[in-house]
Each structure stands twice: as C-alpha cells, then as structure tokens.
Structure 1
C-alpha cells in the first residue's frame, strides 16, 4: 500500500479533526467535531502534543497523537501514545503498524526512552495489535484516574 506519514500542522486541522471525531465516537463519546478541532488546534499551537497523519492517495486515513512524559526510573523523556486511529475504510492494511513505527522513530529522533500507552480491556483490536508491535503488557501496575 502506498502511503505517507507526516507531522500534522494547522494546515491539517480539518482532516485530523474528522478522524479525531471518529476516534472519540469509537470510545462512546458524543460527536463534536468543532470542539475536537479546537482541542487539537490548542495542542498544536502550544506544542503540547505531536500528531502524525497517515495519508493514502493524499487522503487522511489515520493518525497518532503523542504527549511528552518523563520516566522516573530511566530519568528520561518518554512519549505517551495517547490516541491511535485508522479510518474503518483503511483498516487491515498495516497503517496502524506504520503509525506505531513512526512513533518509535520519533522516540529516536527526540532522544526518548520509549512509548507507553493504555487501552480499554474491551479494545480487542488494540490488545492484539500492541503486543505484535513489541509492546509488553504491564500487569504490575494499577492505573487510577481522578476527574474533577
């Protein structure tokens, strides 16, 4: 499959927001493309995340969004692979693997020690994909959330 991956900028905001909206719907959120677009625009303008867009025949087919974190035992930067999505019309073609490989390359380019991610236990696609891409399941930690 012929594709290219590039770092998304403001010029890609509309295409990225459409994919981001579908991603949020996948996680049972109400559609809101304008609110999602504003969220992504703020991340890009404030350099708070790095988004890579995968294009097939110049059409946005998927994205990955990475946030900078710091690892307390390795004493290095790491990246949180927060969001990974491929449009349903393009699934099964290796695009998710390509986006993960680009994220690993970004670690090398930025001197980061690696990637971490979390996904829902019910995400069968992701829970099969991530080990195939070299991620190890961390059964030693409990992850908690606090929301205000």
Structure 2
C-alpha cells in the first residue's frame, strides 16, 4: 500500500478530528466530533502535542499523537505516545508500525531519550503490536489516576 506520513497542522484539523472521534469511540467514549475538534485545535494552537497523519488513497487514515514529558532518571526529554489509531478499513497493512517508526524518528529529531505509552490490558491488538515494535513491558510500576 502506498502511503505518506506527514506532521499534522491546524490545516488538517477536520481530518484529524474525524479520526480522533473514531479513536475515542473505540475507547467507549460518546461520539462528539466538535468537542474533539476543539480539543485538537487547542493542542495545535498552543503547540502542546505533535500529531502525525498517515495518508493513503488521498485521505488521512490514521494518526499518532505525542506529548512531551521529561524522564527523571535519564534527565532528558521523552515523548508520551498518547494516541495511536488506524481506521478499521486500513488495519493489517503496517500503518500502525509506520506511525510508531515515525514517532521513534521524531525522538531522534528532537533529542528525546525515547517513547513511553500505556494501553488497556484488554487492548489485544496494542498489547501484541507494541512488543513487536521494540517496546518493553514495565511490570514494576503501578499507574494511578486522580480525576477531579
């Protein structure tokens, strides 16, 4: 399959928001393209994340969103691979791996020490994909959340 990966910008907001909405629905959230679009617009305008789109057959069919973090033991910048999604019609074609590879390249380009991510224990696709792409499972840490 022929595709390109490009860094998304505000000009790509509509296409990105459509994919982001499908991603959120995958994680059992209510569909709300406008709310997602507002969220992404804020990320773009405030330079708070980096989004890469995979373009195939003339349209955006997947994305990865990265947030900058800092690693306390390596004393370096790292990137949180927060969101990764490929449209169901385009899965199984290596596009998720391509987006992960582009994220790794972004680490090189920005002098970051690496990527971290989390996914649900029930995400069978992700839990198979990430080790295949060189990620190591960290069974030593518990992740806790506080929501107001």
TM-score by length of 1: 0.99
| 1:98 and 2:83 aligned | no
1:6 has 2:2 as partner:
no
1:83 match? 83
Distance 1:95 1:29 in 2: 24
Structure 2: unaligned runs, 5 residues or longer: none
Q: How does 1:1-148 map to 2 (within 5 A)?
A: 1-148=1-148
Partners of 1:42 and 1:67 in 2: how far apart?
13
Two-structure CA RMSD over aligned residues (Å)? 0.4
Unmatched 5+ stretches in structure 1: none
- Name the SS of the counterpart of 1:120 in structure 2: coil
Q: In the TM superposition, what whole-angstrom CA distance separates every residue of 1:103-123 from its partner, at most 9, and x where no partner exists?
A: 000000000000000000000
Runs of 4 or more, structure 1, over 3 Å off, are none
What is the aligned residue count? Answer: 148
SS in 2 for 1:15: helix
User: In the TM superposition, what is the alpha-carbon distance from 1:58 to its structure 2 partner?
Assistant: 1.8
